[in-house]
Amino acid sequence: MAFDGRMTVADLLREESLRLRLVGGAKGTRTRISGVHISEIPDPTLWLDRGDLLLTTALGFYEDEEQQVALVRRLKERGMAGLGVGVDIFVHETSAAMRAEADAQQLPLFEVPFEVPFKAITGLVLHSLYSSDFYQLRRSLSVQDRLLSLLVEDRGVDHLISSVAMLLSTSVVVFDALGEVVSQAHARTKVTPHLREQVWQAYLVNGCRCENGIHGTEVGDHEVFLDEVRLGGRVERVLCFMYPKGEGVTEMGRVVTAYMRKLLTLELHMTRDEVLLQERMRAGLLDDILSGVGRGEDLRERLQRFGFGVEPPLAMLVCDIDDFAATVGDTEGLKGEESIQRLKTEFKEAVDSFLSDVREPFISLAKSDSVVVLLQHASTEPEQLRLLGNGLHTHLVERLPDISVTIGFGESYSELSHLPRAFAQAREAKSARLGASHGGGVRLFSDLGPRVRSLENQTPERLDYFVQSTLGALIAYDLERGERLLETLQVFLEANRNVTQSAELLFVHPNTLRNRLRKVEELLGVSLDSTDTLVDVSLAFQAMRILEITRGRPGSARLP
């Protein structure tokens, strides 16, 4: 075990002046002590930290062997360093059951003589900790300087990882975002391909959720500690340290790990051209898929290089900043353009950051003020996609609280040739006016109902004919006279035919609106009180939106 300057339980037991007697858990005495806590309650673990040493006179449990055994078990589960029991106060000696459990759990259990005050033990441990702080500071600065020199001298990541493994006396593996090994170095643990696969699967399941330092998990006979290296919100490297089970990472290990993460981030920045190339390749692939460029087999092979499976269906989603122009405000000139680009970059990085945490294959592409995502999610059930979308929406709003975001999901498809349709569906879902809502939230194409889904399967020519036969007279009138009757009718329908609300949205008097609506009825030769008319007109507006998505312009060449 690499020395980090802290006292172990064995060091404490060797202090002759204390005359401590080890009675159980001898195999755990190499554990380092990070603090001391004195308590008489049956379960003080709520107030203990990993590596703490508990001292007690057994007042709270000296008559109950079950509580004694349970305490030993809980202390081990919480990663405590050991348990000291003051004897000849409430107990003359620790019970056989307590000793047996300490041996089973490998938790050091020792007896403190009556004449030895607890403050003598706490004083010795605290003195050791204070002394080790200065040692740790000097050593960590020396280690950081050495590692930084290796990076600056361009000795390579392999040399860097080998040095860290030697310093910490542990095996180290660096994975890329797909689980491929970038570099590794062996110390006491031989890292076999099988063990690497187990570690990567453990990462996919557990991730790195620990807020105070690196995240630890057990893999076979090893305790594995993981940390992520991100660039632009996306996970680019996963750093892995392997210790024999029960030892855990030292404080020096945590310091070195945090510094290694920064060095690997710096190394990625130094080779940023390669990272940007990978990002452009992902974006180019998604662009080719959506535009239908390339053979299906070639596209599928390129997807597999980025971690996508062959059979699971693919989902398309569009994340959009609502009313982007109003969000960026008055942003003219160079500084304004920089502000706009910064917001777009932060938005995409926030999307990538969340999806990286999901740890499922995805490709993202920035398009104007939106981010388009191709995702291979574990489930294509609508409610599961909605759950994913809600999590993403919450993440985006928390990261960028000054914006409103709408996320649209298309249907899931296995065939790559159907993904342009899924993209159009996601845009339609994102743009649709559901009820009185004009922005924000998560929308699935399946939420739009059978009317839109039936229109979506029609050819552009048929949709164009339907629009012209239903709204053509109104479109022609607006083009000829420069009026806004088409917009008036659309707002009126979206406001559920509420005259007052529609007038406010159009900034006109209610009587002006009524006059416009009478003109609409006259031009179309219909009554807006007729259910059939309302259905036809609503479908025509939906058809215009689908044409706008698929052709990239409003409706057709004849539409405004």
Are 417 and 292 within 8 A, CB to CB?
A: yes
Is 27 exposed, middle or buried (CB count within 10 Å of its CB: 0-12, 13-18, 19+)?
middle
What secondary structure does DSSP assign to 448-460, as a single string? GHHHHHHHHTS-H
What angle do helix axes 460-481 and 510-524 make, rounded to 10 degrees?
Answer: 120
Q: Is the pLDDT of residue 328 over 60?
A: yes
Convert the pLDDT of each residue in 372-423 to its tens digit: 999 998 888 888 999 999 999 999 989 888 888 999 998 888 888 888 888 8
Q: Is the pLDDT of residue 21 over 90?
A: yes
Residues 6+ apart with CB under 8 A from 493: 534, 537, 538, 541
List the single range of 123-137, 216-230, 364-378, 469-483 with lowest mean pLDDT.
123-137
Q: Which two tokens stand for residue 395?
A: 């993440």
Is 435 exposed, middle or buried (CB count within 10 Å of its CB: 0-12, 13-18, 19+)?
exposed
State the Cα–Cα distance between residues 76 and 55, nearest whole angstrom: 15
Per the prediction, the chain carries an average pLDDT of 81
Q: Which two tokens stand for residue 436?
A: 């009185």
Which is nearest to 560 in space by CA: 456, 504, 481, 443? 481
Which is nearest to 361 in space by CA: 305, 317, 409? 305
State the Cα–Cα distance between residues 379 and 389, nearest whole angstrom: 13
Are 108 and 28 within 8 A, CB to CB?
A: yes
Report all structural domains of the chain as residue ranges with CATH numbers, in order of start.
Answer: 9-127 (3.40.1390.20), 154-270 (3.30.450.30), 275-449 (3.30.70.270), 460-551 (1.10.10.2840)
What's the pLDDT at 435?
A: 39
Q: Which residue has the higher pLDDT, 443 or 329?
A: 443
Residues 6+ apart with CB under 8 A from 61: 42, 67, 68, 71
Using CA atoms, how far residue 455 sits from 82, 161, 517, in Å, is 70, 58, 26
Residue type (1 letter), 285:
L
Torsion of CA 325, 330, 335, 340, to 10 degrees: -10
- Residue 255, sorted as left (phi over 0), alpha (psi -120 to 50) or beta, turns out to be alpha
Radius of gyration of the chain (CA): 33
Tell me the helices (H) and strands (E) count for the chain, helix number first: 19, 15
State the Cα–Cα distance between residues 538 and 470, nearest whole angstrom: 10
State the Cα–Cα distance between residues 425 and 417, nearest whole angstrom: 14
Convert the pLDDT of each residue in 425-467 to its tens digit: 888 788 764 433 445 689 888 777 666 656 766 778 878 888 8
- Residue 525, sorted as left (phi over 0), alpha (psi -120 to 50) or beta, turns out to be left
Sign for the pseudo-dihedral over CA of 454, 460, 463, 465: negative
DSSP 8-state secondary structure symbol assigned to residue 363: E
Convert the pLDDT of each residue in 493-523 to its tens digit: 888 889 999 999 899 999 999 999 999 999 9
Q: Is the pLDDT of residue 558 over 50?
A: no
